[in-house]
Amino acid sequence: MTRSELDVIIVGAGPAGLCAAMYAGRGLLRSVLIERGIPGGELLNTEWIDDYPGFEHVLGRTLAELMAAHAVKFGADIRQDTVESIIKRDDGIFEVATALGQVYEAPAVILTAGGTPTKLEVPGELEYAGRGVSYCAVCDGAFFKGETLAVIGGGDAAVEEADYLTRYGQKVYVIHRRDQFRASKILQERVFANPKIEVLWNKRVREFTGTPAGLQSVELEDTVTGDRFSLAATGAFVFIGFRPNTGLVKQHVDHDPSGYLITDDRMMTSLPGLFAAGDVRSQLTRQITTAVGDATTAAIAVDKYLTDRKSRLASKARVGV
């Protein structure tokens, strides 16, 4: 086991982590960015992006590569490893332990580990991800103008995004495995009042099928009768859950009912020195733009936090505390 002493440790190299690393480098902070895979996060699972300022139409992988290169230019130290735990010691220093036996120590951590959409885990889901199967209506809805779409789920996210998608799709089917929604009543009323939406009750997705060009249909099974049929749709949006990757922090941190970390206006959590940015943070929307905005604030706030911490320690030393 080896140890490294730093100013700040950034966990997760999606858009938020890469932006935080860039600002940490510009601020001449001793930092490291730890990512279990290739830098980019959910950008790597998105084929085309057209809602990031300055890029009218860019591949997710290309944007990830550009962000990583920009961060490295300003001194980002990106290390491929898997973080296993984040613990704050009594002396105020965080220990970040990894699968490769590294222990990184710093008085500040920026958690940008994102989250993971819950998958249906049916045939074709992985094959057509980014080519018809999506987990973000705001990100991908505009690519399906005039097409027939399917939304899978029955909670708030599913019915709200189904209503949103009617501005693009000519027809939107909501597929739910039960005979009633879990969503709030006001959101349900919007769906039932929208003439473009049709709800398919008691149906589960068995498979996504299509051609090399993309998704063509969703294979369904009736949960009551067991009957199967094919629904023609070129876009399918899955909203059956989203899990923020916050379990790495081994101490209690205030969070909302869904597990997203609650921060102040500087992106600091209830655990002093632990900052959160991007999809792990409780907020209204989760976009690339909001992720990099969070990260900018967090990185600058970390710099100020470290300066204040040094002043406090110096004051204690002078009075012999």
- Give the C-alpha separation, 221 to 229, whole Å: 7
In the structure encoding, which two tokens stand for residue 251, read together? 């101490």
Which pair of structure tokens corresponds to residue 276? 């959160």
β-pairing, 235-238 vs 148-152, is parallel
The one catalytic residue among 7, 19, 140, 294:
140
Amino acid at 58: V
Residue 139 is a catalytic residue? yes
Residue 19 falls in the annotated catalytic set: no
Contacts of residue 60, Cβ cutoff 8 Å, sequence gap at least 6: 40, 42, 43, 44, 45, 46, 47, 48, 49, 130
Residue 296 parent element (H or E): helix 288-319
Catalytic residue among 7, 19, 136, 279: 136
Q: Which residues pair with 208 in a beta bridge?
A: 218
* Contacting residues for 295 by C-beta, under 8 A, at least 6 apart: 15, 16, 17, 18, 19, 20, 23, 110, 112, 277, 278
Choosing from 19, 139, 163, 294, which is the catalytic residue? 139
Backbone angles phi, psi at 174, to 5 degrees: -105, 120
Q: Does residue 136 have an active-site annotation?
A: yes
Q: Please say whether the beta carbons of 149 and 171 come within 8 A.
A: yes
Alpha-carbon span 170 to 150, nearest angstrom? 11
Tokens of 42: 């959910």
Q: How far apart are CA 119 and CA 193, in angstroms?
A: 29
On the CB side of 50, CA atoms within 13 Å amount to 10
- Beta-ladder partners of 217: 209, 232
Structure tokens at 85: 């735990």
Are 7 and 106 in contact, with CB atoms under 8 Å apart?
A: yes
Which residues lie below 8 Å from residue 275, measured CB to CB, with a gap of 6+? 108, 109, 110, 111, 263, 266, 267, 268, 269, 298, 301, 302
Q: What is the DSSP letter of 142?
A: G
By annotation, the residues acting in catalysis are: 136, 139-140
